[in-house]
Amino acid sequence: MKKLVLMLMLSSICLSGYSKPQPNNPLRSNDLSDTSVIFNAAPTKVEVEKILGQAASLTDQKKEIKDNFIKRSLTYTCLENELETNRPINLHYILTKYTDSTLARNAYDDILKSNHNMPGQTSLSGIGNQAWYHSDNENFSVIIVRKGDKLLLMKINKMTRKFSKEELKKVTKRITSYL
pLDDT in tens, 44-94: 999 999 999 999 999 999 988 888 889 999 999 999 988 788 889 999 999
CA distance 104 to 77: 28
pLDDT at 146 over 50: yes
Say how far apart CA 172 and CA 179 lie, in whole Å. 11
Percent of the chain beyond pLDDT 90?
54
Binning the chain into helix, strand and coil, the percentages to the nearest 5 are 35, 30, 35
Dist. CA 150–CA 109, nearest whole Å: 13
What pTM did the predictor assign? 0.77
Q: How many CB atoms lie within 10 A of CB 35?
A: 16
Q: How far apart are CA 91 and CA 94, in angstroms?
A: 10
